[in-house]
A and B are shown apart, each in its own frame.
Chain A
């Protein structure tokens, strides 16, 4: 069980909106530490999708958005496309571990 908990899988039809949650605690997300999100397409290296809770790097479509509330963070994808089918990971810092860590990852399937 990861310190940052993500659902193992989510799915949606093309054009729909999906959200992926990342649930932490008062020693990580709840303490205000940055949450970052990464997309890993099959067979490739992870790619930064969202940094600092809700910011998109240059080149990331505005269909992707991030938010944070309390001890949880969320990644939302609107206008789902087949090319969005990938694994998604949240990442933050934990003061109890005194280190950074990843969530367990969520596999997004586009139906």
Chain B
């Protein structure tokens, strides 16, 4: 079946980096773009941006430029989110989701909790 499986929870010190993975299965990986969403504790969903799984070209939302990098490994059908120079306010659950355009974000990963604390 179609699914997205994300890597496990991370606990990081401020200033460190983290790389979250999102492995797709059950469909042709390069057919649909992958998006990333942040959800801070007790807060709503924030659109972080998306990556073209055909070309690898990323597009970042305004609030997610500079320290956030989307990348791919098409041989593994996996998308990555890397966050550098971590701050306490990066503490959140990060979700990947498949973007089917008119058909919405139809498949979601289970979420990865990133906690930034010393």
Q: Which residues of A contact B (CB under 8 A)?
A: 2, 34, 36, 38, 40, 45-48, 50-52, 57, 87, 89, 91, 97, 99-105
Beyond the given pairs A40-B45, A46-B37, A101-B61, 17 more chain A to chain B contacts, judged by CB atoms under 8 angstroms and listed by A's residue number, are A45-B95, A45-B108, A45-B110, A45-B111, A46-B45, A46-B97, A46-B105, A57-B103, A87-B44, A89-B45, A91-B47, A91-B104, A91-B105, A99-B59, A100-B50, A103-B44, A104-B44
Residues facing A in B65-103 (CB within 8 A) are 95, 97, 100-103
Knowing A45-B95, A45-B110, A46-B108, say if A52 contacts B47 (CB, 8 Å): no
Contact at A51–B108, with CB atoms within 8 Å?
Answer: no
The CA-CA distance from A83 to B44 in the complex, in Å, is 20
Contact at B45–A51, with CB atoms within 8 Å?
Answer: no
Q: Which residues of B contact A (CB under 8 A)?
A: 35, 37, 44-47, 49-50, 59, 61-62, 95, 97, 100-106, 108-111
Contact at A36–B105, with CB atoms within 8 Å?
Answer: yes
Residue from the list B47, B102, B106 in contact with A100, Cβ < 8 A: B47
Knowing A45-B111, A46-B95, say if A51 contacts B46 (CB, 8 Å): no
Knowing A48-B104, A48-B105, A48-B106, say if A105 contacts B45 (CB, 8 Å): yes
Contact at B106–A51, with CB atoms within 8 Å?
Answer: yes
In the bound complex, residues from chain B placing their C-beta under 8 Å from that of A102 are 37, 44-47
State how many angstroms separate the Cβ of B111 from the closest Cβ of chain A. 5
State how many angstroms separate the Cβ of A50 from the closest Cβ of chain B. 8
Please name 23 pairs of A and B residues whose Cβ atoms are closer than 8 Å in the assembled complex, sorted by A: A34-B101, A34-B104, A36-B105, A38-B45, A38-B105, A45-B95, A45-B111, A47-B108, A48-B104, A48-B105, A48-B106, A51-B103, A51-B106, A52-B102, A57-B104, A57-B106, A91-B45, A99-B49, A101-B47, A101-B61, A102-B44, A102-B45, A104-B44
